[in-house]
Structure formats: structure tokens, C-alpha cells
Structure 1
Amino acid sequence: MKLIKTNLLWLGLLTVVILGGCGTNISEMKVEVFETSASGNSLSKRTNFSPSADRTAIRISIQPEEKFQEITGFGGAFTEASAHLLNQMSQDKRDEIMEAYFGESGARYSLTRTHMNSCDFSLSNYSYAEVPGDTELSHFSIEPDLDDLIPMIKSAQEVSKEGFRILASPWTAPPWMKDNNAYVGGKLLPENHNSWALFFSKYIKAYQEQGIPIWGVTVENEPLGNGNNWESMHYTPKEMTDFVRDYLGPKLKTDGFGEVKILGYDQNREHLNEWIDAMYNSEENAQYFDGTAIHWYASTYEVFPDALQYAHKKAPGQHLIQSEACVDAEIPHWQEDAWYWEKEATDWGFDWALEKDKHLHPKYVPVYRYARDIIGCLNNWVDGWIDWNMVLDRQGGPNWFKNWCVAPVIVDPEQNQVYYTPLFYTLSHFSRYIRPGAYRVGFEVSESDLEVTAAENPDGSLIVVLFNSTEQSRSYSLEIDDSLFSGDISGQAIQTLVVKRTSLIKKQDG
């Protein structure tokens, strides 16, 4: 793979001098530019620009003083499928992939997700509490995770210099706790509310004993269901809110895990408003919630900004985290970068959505979908964005349900080969450069067909991400305070600009 170089070469150095009073203000803006494009760039450093000298240049003005949400992080999910595949690769390839995702020369993932019990991207159905009627969970064990999943997480911990947060989600309670006694569908029996809350506590403790701290949990992956296909358990907004208020929140607090974040909902954005209303309709209901998790599967192009804005206004200061996204219902295209830049992908809804929703599921360009969604989310108060499986095989699995999907990294264990798709580099444009603790900042752009977001990192560096979906290269001028940088972005491309500013005051001679 092309690892991301860390020996930084600063580009576009511009010094603006302002005379006034008895001193000279010298303001410097140093800009480093990275680009991924359909023409072949893969997070490549741009060293030559051909900016336009006329009015066709797009004006981008960054306002660092205008701050929005604090960024929690970016990343992907640890799944049994990904971990199992890694264990089939050679040690040097495993190390390479972990470095690519978590190392200083790679994507530097800072926010991740994993599953409690099995999910569709497991090798089979399993639970940590298999014994029916064991309401005290005396036989609870995370042994199913010890061969693949936990070793993958520990490998990432060894590589990550700054560390990363883990959000854990159950797809279902053990079948014996449910009204249908099955892994798929059904609801939690009222008499098992205490046992299911205890399950979360035991899971957090067991992982903690493995040296893996759990930062947060979602109450249930896709509580509206998934068509009764794979592991699931159903809640209404009121049922989930009541469970958190009366059982899960108090149990985690009593057991010393009150700092673990609890995120509600965890499904598609088109139903977000009704869940937000239930969770935050009173202080009593809201007291144990730390935010809301969302998915992107309601549309291949629509970000649902109104719903995201509504969630923020209803619960300002609470987390709003995109917890799952992927190119679903597709078998990966192996060593074929061009496909990821073409409008050929379809999703589940292309074939199976209700007729009234078909318009939300047209064919799409995979890279565009990722870039637009992340930018749209950031610009509408989302503070964390998590991809789905980190690693899948050439079939888009393994997956016990044969629910094939695409991951940013595809492997062929038989040939011991790794393919870093353009999606890997697209995600890296955000995860590598926008760090936890950054704040999204304000901006203005003169033309809407160049999509923009910007953030200020804790070290003071400004990160500006540009996305050009047109086939023509575009010139732009980047303005920050009293400094100006002129550049251009290729057609069908994403750019990340890393901006460092210095301001010096020197006394005049005499």
C-alpha cells in the first residue's frame, strides 16, 4: 500500500505584512495539501498548482472564531469477520493493515465500534450468556471473542499512539431473554430487563479486564429491525427510553460504569426526530443519555440535514454519532479503483425499498457517497463518524447470512494480498487530520458545487476538506484572517488542506 508520509513538506507559504503603530505584524500561513482523485492520487501530496488568475477561482473563507461541535473522532468497526480474516493473513500483512488504520503513518482511527454478542458479520450466531434461565448471568463469558475479535483490538491498541475510543452495540439479547426465543426479531421480555442491564455491565467489566476500555454503548443496533434477516431485537422509542431510565442507566452507575456513554436509537436518520423526542422529552428521561447514534442506509445521497439539526437543537451538547455506514448489497470490486469513482453501485433499497422511498435509492458513486455524507454530517452537528467492517474478503464477507458488503480494505487470504480501495483514502482525509478535541469552524464558499468543511485541531492547526464532484479541475482561493492561499483541486477529487498560522510582532528599527 501507499503509506501516508509523515515527514511534512510545507507548501504554499505566504507572508502578509501589515504596517501599523510602532511595529510590523507578520502573518504567515503554511499550507500542506493532500489529494485523492479518480485520476490516480491516493492521499498524495500536491506540490504543483495551476490556480486561475481570473474570477473563475472559487473563494473559500474560513472563520476560525466561529466554533460549532467538538469532534469525538472517526474510524471503523472491529467485527468478528474482519478479525477472522486478519488471522488468516501473514504476520507482516496483519501488521501492515493495523498500521494503515491506526498507526502514525496511516489513517489514525480515533473512534471505533464493535458488536456485543454476534452480528451478521460474525461466523455464526452466539451469545455471552447461552444458558437459558440464567438470570444472574453466572455463566456469562466473552470466550467467543478471545480467538479473533479481542486480539484484533489489542493489535490496534499496540499500534495507536494516541489511543482510540470504542462504542459497543448489541444486535440482540440472548434468545432466551426474548419473547420469540430467537436470535432474529422479537422483543426483550419485561421480566428480563434487569438481566439485560446486568449483561451490559458484565460485558464492560470483562473487556476492561482484558485491558480494553469501553467508551460507550448503544442500547440496540437497529431497534426498528432489519427485515428479520439477521440478529435483531425491536424497541419503540418509548420502550428504549424506559429501559435506559429504569434499568440500564442506574445499573451502570451502581456498578461503577457511570462514565460509559449511553447512546440511544442507532438506526437510520429518517426516523430520528421521533426518537429524539422520546429520549429528551423530560429531564427524567434524558438523565442517562449521552447522545444519539445514527446510520446512513435511508438513502444513497440524502444526508437528512433537517433531522440532524433538529437533534442538535433538542439536545445541544449531546453526542450525535454516525455509528455505521458501508457500501451494502455489493460484492467488492477487486483491484478496480475506477469502479469506486463510477455511478454503478446500488444499495439494499435499489431493489427492496418501498415504492414511495425508491427515489432515495438511486445508483451512486461510492467515493462521492462517503465524502458527501461525512462533510454533510460534520456541517450539521455530527461529532463522530464510524464506518462498518474494516476488512472484508473478495466476496464481501465472511457473513453467516451472506449479507455481502464492501470494506475500505479488501483481502485475499489464499494469496495473502491486500487491496486498499479508494474508500480507505477517502476516510483518511478526515480521520488522519481532524483529531479528537477539534472544533468544526465556520466557512463561506462562493460556489456550492465545491463541498467544504473545516475544523481547528487542539494544536491550533486548521483542517479544510474540499470535495469536487465535477469532472473539471477547479481553482480556489483560501482566505483565513489576513492570509491567502491559491490552489486547485482535480476533477473528481477530495483534498485535505493542513493549515498552520503564525503571527509575529516585530518592532521597527529607529
Structure 2
Amino acid sequence: MRVFHIAVAVALVAAAPAVAGPKLRSWVTTGDKRQLLAAQAPSGPATAAEVAGLPTVVVDPKERHQSMVGFGAAITDASAWLLQNKLSLQQRDSLLREVYGRGEGELGFSFTRLTIGASDFSLDHYSLDDAPGGAADPTLEHFSLARPQQYVFPTVRAALKINPELKVMASPWSAPAWMKTNGSLIQGQLKPDAYPVYARFFARYVREAGKVGIPIDYLSIQNEPDFEPDSYPGMRWLPQDRARFFGENLAPIFKRERITTKVLDWDHNWDQPQQPLTVLADPKAKAFLAGVAWHCYAGEVSAQDKVRAVHPDKDTFLTECSGGEWAPKFDDSFSWMVENLIIGSTRGGARGVLMWNLALDETFGPHAGGCNDCRAFVTIDSKSGAINRTQEYYAFGHASRFVRPGAVRIGSPAKLGDLRTVAFQNRDGSRALIVLNVGAQPASFAITEGANRFKASAPGRAAVTFVW
């Protein structure tokens, strides 16, 4: 009986049946996990009297912002290895369809990220051009996609078969060791005389990945270029040097080889907007770059707006964030992700939003250095194959299930008391409004859009996606 009362308390209040108009559908996730993307009873339009005096979320489809590429997670070496080795064929196919499918109850992920070579979430450290004995390979004779062809590329091809609209981004954690000042995948910088061959390396990666069915839609040249981790591949790359590489090395070869992959700068935290601003101040780099990629681990999401204000013609993406045991409570981390990544980042212009690992095991691995308590969208038990869906799964599901590729962000209030909102119009004309109630108490409010008027509610510490 208690569950029944809870369901009634969070249901939308139905309007008088005599009022004509569209039905409002909604899905709720509560911080106490009693409801997890739970469908509510549809409601009809409300009368003016029914919403009189209520705070109103005004959705304005005439106010149009960015079009969406989508939401998703990185298919890391660790994620792909688990999917290919710790699940049966039937389990793997079922999970991939649940994540990338567009059917009822499926997440509909349409954006992913791959690592070019190893990251901390690999089984070991490697690059795509490891010559015998660590020798230099200026002709790229030893360039090979053998490693991603083992687990990552088959997983991506399976996802693309389920969702052909899936867009793929790729990022390296380090250049091959022989191109670097310290001769190691760990730490160091790119040698100035390696710039031309590294540009050819990227062109070759894009071409050869495409030949085996992996279209590289977006590319960054360095994951977290202001960080040199001491236990896994990484590389510092200063903004003025990245600008030179873009303008003098990568742009010419991409133009010559007619490579249309869109290139993004930065791919690092919100705390240093001056880095992409420095790169975009270079005329050649600015002409070549499609936009800026951001991570969530330091700074505030408002940094996206600082760069967009100067360069409104450049795209914005949020390309990495991870949950972890540093924030283990479901309600706290779920609320933070919805507020900052799903709502804050898209209100800050993000066309795509990515979390880090798609899947990890029960010990937060496998990994080779780096983070030892990062959470993934799903946890795969390495012994039984059982799957646990985390708060990241539900936070992103509130957007990815209802905001389709090509959807346009439209007007809605950023804040209304304890409510945080973002709204989208899909290509079929349907609207999706995501509302987060950061307060502890339930909130009742009205939703208006043109002639449409609805009465709605959101439990305390909960997210609700409304569709009409």
C-alpha cells in the first residue's frame, strides 16, 4: 500500500477531460531510488484555473539554440573487453540494444568516444605505432589498428548496427613514445620535429578506421593536455603549440586528403577557459577547428559560456566526466550530474555530452594505473555477467531516451525556485522538458508552451522528463 501512495503522490494531476490538447507523458527518478525512470500516468491539458498561482515553466520553441548530436559514454578498452569477454553473446547483444536502441525503455545513446591507443582504462600501455625496441618510425611503417580491432572496434560496429546515427569521437592519451621528449608514453611532451609525422598519424588513423567500418566524426589531438599523469599514458601540450599544430600541420594534411572529421580543441576541464581561448586566437587554428571539448573534473560549467561568448560560431561538447566512489550516494551524485551535465552543459551550448566508461567490473576495472574507483554506466560482474545500472545510467537516460539526434534546444527557465530546467524540440516536433527538483520537498508547477498548458509536479530530490 505504501508504494501505491508514493506513486500517486508523484503522478501528474490530471486536467479536466473537457480541455482539448496533447497528452503530457513523464518519467521520474527519485534520489531514494524508489522510482528509476519510472513512467507516470499521462495527463491531459489543464485549465487556467487549475494552474492559477503556480510557478510556471514557460517553454518557448521560438527561442532556438544548438542542435544535438546526442548523449553517451566512452567505449574504452576496459568497457569493450568486458563486453566481449565477460558476457555471453546473448547478454552482450541485449545490453548493447538496451544502451543504443531506440525502442521503448532503451537509452538511445547516439554519441561515443574512443581512445587512440591506451588510456588508464586499458589492460596495458601501448600506442598504435610501437616499433621494435622503441625505435623511431617516421614513415609509420609499424602503424597498426590491431589492438582496437580486438575488442573496441567490434563493439562500436555492433552499436552502429543498432543505431546508425551514432557519432564517434576519438582522442589519444599520448603520442607514440618515440615522438616524445622523454621517450615514454607516460608524461613528456611532443617533440617539435615530430609535428609533421604526428599529423600524418592522425590522418592515417581516421582513414584506416573508416575502412574497417568506424567513421571518426570528431577528433581531439590530446586528452587533458594540461595534465601529465604518473601512472598511465599522458602528454602535456601547451595551447600555443597546439595552435601551431592545428594550423601548420593538421589542417594542411586534412585538406589535402579531404578528411572531413571535425576537430575539437582542449578536451580538458572547465577551470582553464583561457587555454582554448589562446588556441582560437590563432587565425589558422580558428579557421580549422570545429569547436571546444570540455571535462568536468575542475572548475564550473559556466566556463563553456566564457568561450562561447567570444567564439559563438564554434561548437561546444562535454566529452568526459566520471562518477566514482568519491561521491557514492545515489541522490547526491545523480542530482549533480543532472544539474551540471544534462542541464548545465546543454544550456552552455553542448551539442554532445559524454560520460567516461560505458562499463566496468565490480572492482572498478580493469585498468592500468589511474583511477581505481571510477564508476561506469553499468557494472558487469566478471564472474556471473550480472549487470548493475548506476546513477549515471539513470541521469543520462533522462535525456538520451527523449532527446533525439538533431533535436534543437529551445527556451525554458534555467532556474525557477528549486527547479532547474532545459527543453528540446525533436525533429518530429515533439517537445522534451527535463526538470530537476534540487529541493527536499515536492514541487507543483505549471508547464506552458504556446496554447498548451499542463499541471505537473516533481518529488523532492528528483528528476522528471516531460514529453508532449
Query: What TM-score do the two structures reach when normalised by structure 2?
Result: 0.90
Q: What's the CA shift for 1:134?
A: 1.1
**CA offsets per residue over residues 454-501 of structure 1, 9 Å max, x none?**
1111111111000012222111110111221002112221111111xx
SS in 1 for 2:453: strand
The percentage of aligned residue pairs carrying the same residue is 27
- 1:16-60 deviations in Å (ceiling 9; x for gaps): 98xxxxxxxxx72321111111341111111178x9968673311
Measure the CA separation in 2 of the matches of 1:451 and 1:232: 36
Question: Which residue in the other structure is 2:261 paired with?
Answer: 260
How far apart in 2 are the matches of 1:283 and 1:90? 52
Shift in Å at residue 376 of structure 1?
A: 0.8
1:367 aligned residue: 334
| Aligned equivalents of 2:94, 2:441: Cα separation in 1 | 35
TM-score (norm 1): 0.83
Structure 1 distance, partners of 2:314, 2:353, is 15
**1 CA distance for matches of 2:256 and 2:15?**
55
- Cα distance, 1:219–1:99 mapped onto 2, change above 3 Å: same
**What do residues 268-310 of structure 1 show as CA deviations (whole Å, max 9, x unaligned)?**
01101x12322222432311100010100005xx42x1x2112
Match of 1:68 in 2: 65
Displacement of 1:233: 0.9
* Cα distance change on mapping 1:244 and 1:446 into 2, 3 Å: closer
8 A Cα contact 2:80 2:151, kept in partner: yes
CA distance in 1, matches of 2:246, 2:292: 13
In the alignment, which residue of structure 1 is the partner of 2:157?
Answer: 154
Mark the runs of 5 or more structure 1 residues left unpaired by the alignment: 1-9, 18-26, 334-338, 342-364, 500-510
Q: 2-side partners of 1:130 and 1:417: how far apart?
A: 36
- Which amino acid in structure 1 is aligned with residue 292 of structure 2? T
Corresponding residue of 1:98: 96
Matches within 5 A, 1:412-431: 412-431=381-400
2:194 to 192, 197, 207: 192
Aligned mates of 1:445, 1:77 — CA distance in 2: 28
Q: Distance in 1 between matches of 2:238 and 2:122?
A: 26
Q: Distance in 2 between matches of 1:428 and 1:470?
A: 21
What is the aligned partner in structure 2 of residue 246 from structure 1? 248
Specify the alignment match of 1:376 in structure 2. Answer: 344
Question: Which residue in the other structure is 1:350 paired with?
Answer: none
Equivalent residue runs for 1:293-308 within 5 Å: 293-298=293-298, 302-303=300-301, 305=302, 307-308=303-304
Q: Which residue of 1 aligns with 2:7?
A: none
Number of equivalences: 445
Residue 322 of structure 1 corresponds to which residue in structure 2?
Answer: 318
Aligned equivalents of 1:14, 1:220: Cα separation in 2: 57
Shift of the 280–445 alpha-carbon distance from structure 1 to 2, 3 Å rule, reads closer
CA contact (8 A) 1:12 1:31 kept: no
Distance 1:11 1:85 in 2: 44
**Which residue identity lines up with residue 380 of structure 1 in the other structure?**
G
Contact 1:179/1:187, CA 8 A, preserved across alignment: yes
- Give the secondary structure class of the aligned counterpart of 1:455: strand
Query: For 1:487 and 1:242, how far apart are their aligned partners in 2?
Result: 53
Question: Is the CA contact (8 Å cut-off) linking 2:226 and 2:238 kept in structure 1?
Answer: yes
**1:451 matched residue in structure 2:** 420
The equivalent residue for 2:436 is: 467
- In structure 2, the residue matched to 1:279 is 279
Within 5 Å, which residues of 2 pair with 1:221-236? 221-236=223-238
> Counterpart in 1 of 2:55?
58
State how 1:125-144 maps to structure 2 within 5 Å: 125-131=125-131, 132-144=135-147
Deviations 1:300-348 (CA, angstroms, capped at 9, x unpaired): xx42x1x2112112211311100000114659x7xxxxx312xxxxxxx
Q: Which runs of 5+ in 2 are unaligned?
A: 1-11
| CA distance, structure 2, for counterparts of residue 458 and residue 377 of structure 1 | 21
CA distance, structure 1, for counterparts of residue 203 and residue 414 of structure 2? 47
Q: What CA distance in whole angstroms lies between the structure 2 residues aligned with 1:380 and 1:446?
A: 14
Match of 2:4 in 1: none
For 1:447 and 1:466, how far apart are their aligned partners in 2?
10
Whole-angstrom CA distance in 2 between matches of 1:234 and 1:320: 22
After TM superposition, give the deviation of residue 403 of structure 1 in Å.
1.8
Aligned mates of 2:442, 2:384 — CA distance in 1: 38
Match of 1:385 among 343, 350, 353: 353
| Distance (whole Å) between structure 2 residues aligned to residue 233 and residue 14 of structure 1 | 62
**2:422 and 2:361 mapped to 1: Cα distance?**
33
More displaced, 476-485 or 437-446?
Answer: 437-446
Per the alignment, residue 340 of structure 1 pairs with 330
* RMSD of Structure 2 on Structure 1 (CA): 2.3
- Between Structure 1 and Structure 2, the one with more strand by share is 1
Q: In structure 1, how many angstroms separate the alpha carbons of the residues matched to 2:256 and 2:16?
A: 57
Aligned to 2:40: 46
Deviations 1:199-222 (A, max 9, x none): 111111111111111001001000
Q: Aligned residue for 2:467?
A: 498
User: Which amino acid in the other structure matches residue 92 of structure 2?
Assistant: R
State the distance in 1 between where 2:69 and 2:18 align. Answer: 34
**In structure 2, C-alpha distance between the alignment counterparts of 1:16 and 1:445, rounded to whole Å:** 32
Does structure 1 conserve the Cα–Cα contact (< 8 Å) formed by 2:265 and 2:293?
yes
How far apart, CA to CA, are the structure 2 residues paired with 1:86 and 1:64? 40
CA distance in 2 between partners of 1:311 and 1:73 (Å): 21
1:394-417 Cα shifts (integer Å, max 9, x gaps):
111110115221011001020121
Deviates more, 1:126-135 or 1:116-125: 126-135
* Conserved 8 A contact 2:15-2:50: no
Superposed CA offset, 1:118-160 (max 9, x none): 1100000011111122101022111011221111111111222
Report the AA paired with residue 186 of structure 2: V
Q: Supply the AA of the counterpart residue of 2:426.
A: N
1:219 aligns with 2:209: no
Q: Is 2:30 aligned against 1:37? A: yes
Q: Report if the CA contact (8 A) 1:14-1:485 is conserved.
A: no
Instruction: Pick closer, same or farther for the CA change 1:111–1:446 going to 2, 3 Å.
Output: closer
Does the aligned pair in 2 maintain the 1:111–1:386 contact within 8 Å? yes
